Amino acid sequence: MLSILPGKKIAELDKSYAREVGISSWELMERAAESFVSWFLKGFSGVQEKVFIFSGPGNNGGDGLAIARLLSEKGFAVSVVLFSSKENSSVDWQVNFDKLPEGISRYQYPEIDFELASSAIIIDALFGVGINRALGGEYLEVVNTLNQLSGKKISIDIPSGLPSDSLVEGVAFLADMTVSFQFPKLSLLIPEHSKYVGDLHIADIGIPDSFLDQFGSNKSFVQASDIQKMHKRFDNFSHKGDFGRILLIGGRGGKVGAIILSTCSAMRTGSGLVHVWAEGASKDVIHISCCEAMVEGEKILDELDKFDALGIGPGLGEVPQDLLRNIFQSTGKPMVLDADALNVLSKHPELWDLIPKGSILTPHLKEFERLTGKSSHHFERLDKASEYAVQHKVYLVLKGAFTSISTPDGKQYFNSTGNKHMATAGSGDVLTGMITSFLGQGYDPLNASLCGVFHHGLAGEIASKTKARGMIATDIIESIPSSFLEMQID
């Protein structure tokens, strides 16, 4: 799992890692440049466009110069645009400046004709995590000009102008892609910054996770290799009881579709037995839509103990708070709370401390707002999510791009899968079914949340390969099995 360190810790990280393994800071920069170039070659090998690299005065600019050299060695037509004099630039910048091969065109800003770069690939190496104020002067001018150009735009480490741990002030580079070193900076994961970041890629520069752990960050970025280790393994003697018996509660009135999506998702996630509590005409509809499920009447609420996990909320509609209160008081087991169950909690804070410890709440941004009030930006929302999780000893899954999972012990995990096509009706109901399924299969609440969120995103990515904008929640469900195959989970 990749620790996410604050920007101001990164210089210290570089220094102590270089000392530990006996390499120079220049060698670490070279690794970063090599890692960027190997990513670049995967997507841009053989393209005819010129490459323009805009290099600022610090080590981000130094990365840019090293990348210029490496790309030129690979045969790309590279130009660099410089801003500071050699003496006013960082030490490793100077080393890389001296290593620039003859074949690279050099321009000292403002002596550059932007017509030359109009359809070139633009690489932004103006500022990285060392930015300490809003862009001004010639940097503001150049970023404004670059933002108008039509070619592909790539940022090194972080789009110039974005601070690594707080909200942008003023102008920043609008990248199509950002290649961030070792781990994503927190700022790259917040919705307000997505238009600057574009597609995010993480370039490994060889600092082991265990080394990053020493810096004691409470935030981590979760990738496929982490998820693989979290899955439970079942053997050939396993029977359906081992895969858990769960109860989903919702689907009243006109919202039966929501609980059907959760039910089918839970089945596809591997639950052995899925029961659904529903009312009236909903019962038949559920039976027809998911014939593997068992549909229950109100009596089942007196037998909650026989279930390994509960998922409450999708399509539940408005219910008296007593329904939740009774459920909370009759089982101490962690459960998943979503949608209308969260709306009841928003109106009745007196229920918060009755929620069984270790339960998983899965609000989208609006539901979270109803629960904890308006936030002025996502950094504040993340802090509130963490506070809520710690205070009420629950897991808070805040849904959206890079869904965050806040834990009762104050940690925060960010998911790496999913895409914009998943912002479709019912997508959240699918997630509820998946997390409840993992919980019922005996995963602890953290692993159930992380695996649920990860596979939900991966299934969405798989489905959108053929469905793109036309993808619907049912397509995500159909792709859950492929997400297991892709991750080699049997």
Ligand X SMILES: NC(=O)C1=CN([C@@H]2O[C@H](COP(=O)(O)OP(=O)(O)OC[C@H]3O[C@@H](n4cnc5c(N)ncnc54)[C@H](O)[C@@H]3O)[C@@H](O)[C@H]2O)[C@H](O)CC1
Annotation: binding site for K(+): 60, 124, 160
Residues 6+ away with beta carbon under 8 Å from 131: 158, 160, 161, 162, 163, 164
Helical pair 339-347 and 427-440, crossing angle rounded to 10 deg:
90
In the complex with ligand X, the residue whose CB is nearer, 202 or 459, is 202
Between residue 177 and residue 216, which ones bind ligand X under the rule CB under 6 A? 181-182, 205
Distance CA 309, CA 262 (A): 13
Which residue is nearest to K ion, using beta carbons? Answer: 160
Nearest Cα neighbor of 222 from 487, 414, 360 is 414
- Quick one: tokens of 347? 């109106």
Q: Residue 181 pairs with which residues in a beta bridge?
A: 203
Q: Rounded to the nearest whole angstrom, what is the least distance from the CB of residue 62 to K ion in the complex?
A: 11
Binding of residue 133 to ligand X (CB under 6 A):
yes
| Distance between CA atoms of residues 186 and 193, nearest Å | 10
Distance of closest approach, residue 146 Cβ to ligand X, in angstroms? 15
**Strand (E) or helix (H) holding 79:** strand 78-82
| Contact flag: residue 267 with ligand X (CB under 6 A) | no
**Which listed residue (50, 56, 142, 476) binds ligand X by CB under 6 A?**
56
Amino acid at site 311: G
Sign of CA dihedral 116, 120, 122, 123: negative
Q: Cβ 63 to K ion, closest distance in Å?
A: 8
Among the residue ranges 28-36, 224-232, 275-283, 431-439, the one whose residues contact ligand X (CB under 6 A): 28-36
Identify which range of 27-35, 67-75, 390-398, 430-438 contacts ligand X by CB under 6 A: 27-35
- If one asks whether residue 129 binds ligand X (CB under 6 A), the answer comes out as yes
Query: How far is the first Cα of the chain from the last one, in angstroms, to the nearest whole number?
Result: 22
For ligand X, the binding residue among 3, 55, 60, 436 (CB under 6 A) is 60
For position 172 contacting ligand X by CB under 6 A, the verdict is: no
Which of 2, 5, 14, 436 binds ligand X (CB under 6 A)? It is: 14
Residues 6+ apart with CB under 8 A from 106: 79, 80, 82, 100
Which H or E run includes 78? strand 78-82
CB of 57 to ligand X, least distance (A): 5
132 binds ligand X (CB under 6 A): yes
Distance in angstroms (rounded) separating the CA atoms of residues 118 and 100? 23
Q: According to CB under 6 A, which one of 135, 246, 273, 473 is a site residue for ligand X?
A: 135
Least separation, in Å, of the C-beta of 172 and ligand X?
10
**Binding test (CB under 6 A) with ligand X, winner from 2, 36, 52, 58:** 58
Binding of residue 55 to ligand X (CB under 6 A):
no
Q: Should residue 413 be labelled a site residue for ligand X when binding is judged by CB under 6 A?
A: no
Interface with K ion (CB under 5 A): 60, 124, 155-156, 160
Contact 360, 394 (CB under 8 A): yes
Report the residue number, 141 or 387, with the smaller CB distance to ligand X: 141
Note whether 371 and 387 are within 8 A (CB).
Answer: no
Binding residues for AMP, as ranges, are: 399-403, 428
Q: What Cα–Cα distance (Å) separates residue 251 from each residue in 86, 277, 295, 326?
A: 67, 8, 11, 19
Residues that contact ligand X, how many (by CB under 6 A): 30
The site partner of 181 among ligand X, K ion, none (C-beta below 5 to 8 Å per kind) is ligand X
Binds ligand X by CB under 6 A, chosen from 76, 127, 328, 368: 127
In angstroms, the Cα distances linking 376 to 243, 342, 380 are 42, 21, 7
| Interface residue list for ligand X (CB under 6 A) | 10-11, 13-14, 28-29, 32, 56-63, 90, 127-133, 135, 139, 156-157, 181-182, 205
